[in-house]
Structure 1
Amino acid sequence: MKFRTISTALALTGLLMGTPGCKDFYDVNVDPIHPSKAELQQLLPVTQTATSTYLGFNIAGLGQPTSALMQQLSNGRSIGNFQQTGDSFSGPWNGLYSDMLANNELLITQGTTEQRWGYVGIAQLQKAYVFSQLVDMFGDVPYSEALKGAQNTSPRFDKDADIYNGNPGLGIQGLFALIDEGLGNLAKPGAGVTGTADLIYGGDLTKWARFGRTLKLKLLVQIRKTRSDAAFQQQVAALLTGTGGLLEATDDFEFKYGASESPANRNVGYLADYVNAGRENNIGRFLYLLMKYGDGTNPSPTAAVRPIPNPALGYADPRVPYYFFNQLATRIAPDRATYDYQDPNDARFVTTRAGSTGPANASALSSSTRTLPGLYPVGGRYDDGRGGNANTTFGRGLVAQRLLPYFSRKFLEAEAHLVILNNRAAARTALQAALQASFDKVNAIALAEGTSPSPTTTSGAPYPTAIPSGSRALGPIPAAEIATYINGALARFDGTATGPAKTPLQVIMEEKYVASFGMGPDIYTDWRRTGYPILTVPDNNNIGSNVGLVEDNDPITTGAGLFPRRLYYSQQDITANANPSAPKAQVDPASPTYRIFWDR
């Protein structure tokens, strides 16, 4: 396993420069091969920043490419066309191991020596969370023998199921046992951490404990197809009803960004699409159509606008202007010669279709007019209809990177009640709470943003002051609109809504998919576990044996390969690792070990 120092990767983003205790992060040792003592209050924020960076919704993280796979984004990078190489994810792979996990292991070992159990418990929960994500993305990974520096430079690739469940015969402590140990350390007398060093919960160990139990529930739900015994059901039920509780409404597990421009402490996704005039992302057509019209898969006889939206389904998700910012302000007829795809009912929405071979498919053609990730995902601009060529004054970039928020807990409960505990009524109640929590999150972000200031236009012309008809100023979503949407979702769950019939699980997972915009790894995991939502892909050659995919019926889109069910390893690491368990090549889709163990 190759290790490097934290400064190599994160100094480039400037993220650590403004975090408490980390202004001298070059002095923080992260190389376990040549260890030197570091203060625990310095190490903790480094691990949390690295977690957010390399799992997050940005060019350096796994959140962006997995969001592209899940059709929430559309980009021209190879993974957007279902192609990957041994270099595709070497950055986040190396970053998570070298910048996050190596520092985190120092927290555990040094904290244990110093008997500072608060730091140890937090680090153990963080370790369980990050390794669970590595398994979910890559499968077998170095775990039990990793992070030992010169003691073992070619660690074993442990089996994915062993990492989750443990294997005493091989000396592997599973993630469930690691979580329990972390919770035990948090509960020890005198446990505590310096509040300013903890960028997630400010040193609140009660919230960390609730996160740990929720993480355990998440992992149990993810492996539910591998377990059907009564003991498993009892374990899930105990978490849902046990003392101590799970994440509460104020307990979102998320990394909070700051307002500083120099050093750059704003949301990294905001920097990519608002500070960077060339833009990084397009919005996924599927997500937009699902939210705006309730169906991302309707075929159309008109090739240039496939799939055509169906307003009769009446979803009209009121979160749309919080999710997406339209740089175009005029609701004109679509210009198919200039833009690859526009909503035929609202031509302000501009994007590039996944796999497009059309004449306007080059992303640079629409950098000043394409629709961008808005306020909710990256702290960009709320869409009040005034549009404009976005720049750094079109938002503040303060929105946190969500990792495991409260609404995710409620969606997990809904799934657990429905398919593990076979309690449809309880699942419906949890779904209703999850939907309300997801809207509450949007409204909390809107309230924190305040009002949308008039930005400085790129051209220097005055920014319009009048909000066009059909749009409204930034503010919370009205309660009546929230209630209408939630009632519609519950009707779909009950099977009483108009439109295409959907199973209760499909409704839960579709709503979770929408609420989780910006959380690509979890969405990708959920889709592989459940087959929902049913995504559109450019052609049948992308589908193979995959459930949960349909062709987009668009003759000018094409996919370059089979839709992947796992990400490629860092080729450099598997080549350099001499352990017999290390893959000698990327796992072939025809291999029986291609799917992650819970992917059934």
Structure 2
Amino acid sequence: MKILFKMLTAAALTTAASSCSSFLDINSNPNQALTVAPSAILATALSTTAANYTGNNPSFNSYASWVASYWGKTGVVSGYGEELTYNYSSSYYAGLFGNTYDNLNDYNIIQTQGAANGYPYHAAIARIMKVYNYQLLVDEYGDIPYTQALQGGTNVAPVYDKAADIYKDLLVQLAGAIDDINKTDATATATFTPLAVGSEDIVFGGDMKKWKKFANSLKLRILLRESQTSDAALTTSVTQQMAALQTAADGFITADVVAQPGYAQSAGQQNPLYNRYAYTAAGTSATERQYQIPTQYILNQYISNNDPRLTQLYTIGARTVGTDANAVTTPEYIGAMPGQSNAPTFVAPIVASRLRGANAATATGGILKGLVAPTALMLLSEHLFSKAEAETRNLFTGGDVSAKQDYLDGIKASFIYFYRAAATTNATINASTLEASTMAGAAGIDQYNTYVNAATNATNPLVSFDNAVVNGALGKQNIIIYQKYLALNSVASTEAWDDYRRTAQPKLPASSQSQSPRADKLPTRLIYPLGEVSTNAANLPTGTTQYTKIFWDVVD
């Protein structure tokens, strides 16, 4: 596995606050790690992670948006065979593997140089972000290089570690990162002043308490993934670690975790999701804006529950019946049916809906939000729904009383996220915002109240927590996962897809062209990329296909 090192030069550093990683990457010797100040590459590393997760070509979000039935193919483009058939090849989304390891090298340099040269806080951030990236790889590929990874030219053919073993160590690394921060806080004296983290931290602005909260929320994400296997020892470990996590001194995130490198209306500097699927810096439609549209399945979820987010997330299409003077055109939300041969386009008689995205720097809300909007790394709604699930399943204390509050706050956080305007700063949603009773009129709050208080939803088992179906020891997991699915739509689709494989909820439709032998006609993972097949074949796990399950995928 050949991994490139990236280095930010002093000249590039001066633009880090307002630049995307795409034009800051400077490839250096792949076989020799250079000495570089961690502060010089942290911004680029974080920006690259955000882009890889959400909007790059390829990105984890775009892959998951297709397979999780958020997106379908429009009739104006051919291709997309692997999205429609799930007959994956070693070239399908191959860039995710190498790009993520490339990014991991950034963090490895920061961690190594930081620990050795008086940057312990930078090193701790890098340690947390390595966990973030490794989990993404495990969740989509299974076994991956881990213990022998990131060694450059000294080991270009690393062994593959078991996914379950990696997961266990990810929790160790997060605990270690928190401990590193605490030790640095405690030992800082007049003779040892750790170099502070400043504007190069484009996520939390150097607030190490927030990094500890993020690490705890990552722990919860990891533990929930592990929580439904048949491994008795693992189940016991998860139960014990969940109990300790709930009472962790530092708590959890209270805001969307986002990266803001200083997006601007300039080529290579716009929000990557917006740039790829909305409009270019020149103001023209992005090429892929024409290629993907919402599925009818996801549209119907919002329609059937009278969900106000429908109009915020999508443009309305139209259907024309008849011709000439007798033609009648009716506004309608129209999406694609996965695998259909005559997918809708953008002209009469059937005009498809699109992901909403205004062509302006001040665009407000929605999925594509705006060209200067920060990029999500973890939505607060995801965390709150995860916490609600842990409570209803008695992995956390509090039971359904606490679960209901976190469930409702998860929905509210989603409304706030999707209705909040694009911003050049790291706008946050904190706990007091969610709990305040004086929020009427704030972005998304009135719409949230309409949604949860509507007469039609008072007994709706897909909205009303009190009326949700109880699923044995899993409690009200189904309604939590369902609403989480709606909240993560096209922004954090990776987590929705992972939740589906873990819980089999919600019941996603498969493409009519699916070649999957599974009962749900869906795949379960990505294929190892051609580069690994060509250069590290001796270490590749044998017998794996796109239908081989990840270790935590045990529910069908």
1:481 partner letter: T
Is 1:504 the counterpart of 2:476? The answer is yes
Judged with a 3 Å threshold, the aligned counterparts in structure 2 of structure 1 residues 22 and 103 are, in CA distance, closer, same or farther, namely farther
Matches within 5 A, 1:22-171: 31-75=29-73, 77-81=80-84, 82-98=86-102, 100-165=103-168
Are the equivalent residues in 2 in contact too, given 1:334–1:347 (CA < 8 A)? Answer: no
Q: Which runs of 5+ in 2 are unaligned?
A: 74-78, 189-193, 280-284, 426-440
Q: Does 1:262 align with 2:266?
A: yes
Deviation at 1:255, TM superposition (A): 2.1
Q: Does 1:493 align with 2:465?
A: yes
SS in 1 for 2:509: strand
User: 3-state DSSP class of the match of 2:4?
Assistant: coil
Distance 1:345 1:583 in 2: 55
1:248-259 → structure 2 map (5 Å cutoff)? 248=254, 250=255, 252-256=256-260, 258-259=262-263
CA distance in structure 1 between the partners assigned to 2:369 and 2:416 by the alignment: 20
| Aligned equivalent of 1:319, options 309, 318, 328 | 309
Partner of 1:599: 553
Partner of 2:340: 356
Q: What does residue 340 of structure 1 align with?
A: none
Q: 1:489 to 1:257 in 2, by over 3 A?
A: farther
Matched, 1:282 2:293: yes
CA 1:334 to 1:135, structure 2 compared with 1: closer, same or farther past 3 Å? farther
Distance apart, 1:162 and its partner CA: 0.9
Residue 418 in structure 1 maps to residue 418 in structure 2: no
What amino acid is the match of 1:533? Answer: P
Q: Over aligned residue pairs, what C-alpha RMSD do you find? A: 3.7
Deviations 1:218-243 (A, max 9, x none): 10011001356555323212222332
In the TM superposition, residue 77 of structure 1 has moved relative to its aligned partner by 1.8
Separation (CA, whole Å) in 1 of partners of 2:516 and 2:26: 47
Amino acid across the alignment from 2:17? P
Residues 80 and 354 in structure 1, CA contact (< 8 A), matched pair in contact too: no
Shift of the 570–161 alpha-carbon distance from structure 1 to 2, 3 Å rule, reads: same
The gaps in structure 1 that reach 5 residues or longer are 9-14, 166-173, 294-314, 337-343, 385-393, 450-472, 550-561
Which residue of the partner structure matches residue 541 of structure 2? 583
Q: CA deviation at 1:494?
A: 2.8
Instruction: Tell me: CA distance 1:184–1:90, structure 2 relative to 1, closer, same or farther (3 Å).
Output: same
Equivalent residue number for residue 438 of structure 1: 414
Q: CA shift at 1:530, angstroms? A: 0.2
Alignment map for 1:283-432 (pairs within 5 Å)? 283-293=294-304, 315-326=305-316, 328=317, 333=320, 347-358=331-342, 361=343, 370-374=352-356, 396-421=370-395, 423-432=399-408
**Take 1:538 and 1:16, find their aligned partners in 2: how far apart are those partners?**
46
Between the two proteins, what is the percent identity of the paired residues?
22
1:566 maps onto 2:525 in alignment: yes
After superposing the two structures, state which structure 1 stretch, 38-47 or 118-127, moved more.
38-47
Give the Å deviation of 1:245. Answer: 0.6
Amino acid in the other structure paired with 2:341: T
1:447, 1:476 within 8 Å by CA — same for their partners in 2? Answer: no
Matched, 1:531 2:531: no
Q: 1:475 Cα deviation (Å)?
A: 5.5
Give the number of aligned pairs. Answer: 493
Q: Is the 8 A contact 1:566 1:595 kept in 2?
A: yes
2:414 maps to a residue whose letter is: S
Per-residue deviation, residues 267-325 of structure 1 (Å, max 9, x unmatched): 222222332354242112211111111xxxxxxxxxxxxxxxxxxxxx11111122113
From the superposition, tell whether residues 150 and 207 of structure 1 become closer, same or farther in structure 2 (CA, over 3 Å). same
In structure 2, relative to structure 1, the CA distance for the partners of 1:7 and 1:380 (3 Å cut) is farther
Task: Give the drift of 1:573.
Answer: 1.4
SS class of match (1:347): strand
**Counterpart of 2:277?**
273
| Paired residues of 2:340 and 2:512 also in contact (CA < 8 A) | no
Partners of 2:116 and 2:321 in 1: CA distance: 65
Give 3-state SS (helix, strand or coil) of 1:403's partner: strand
The aligned amino acid for 1:270 is Y
Letter of the 1:319 partner, please give it.
R
Whether the 8 Å contact between 2:412 and 2:445 is mirrored in structure 1 is no
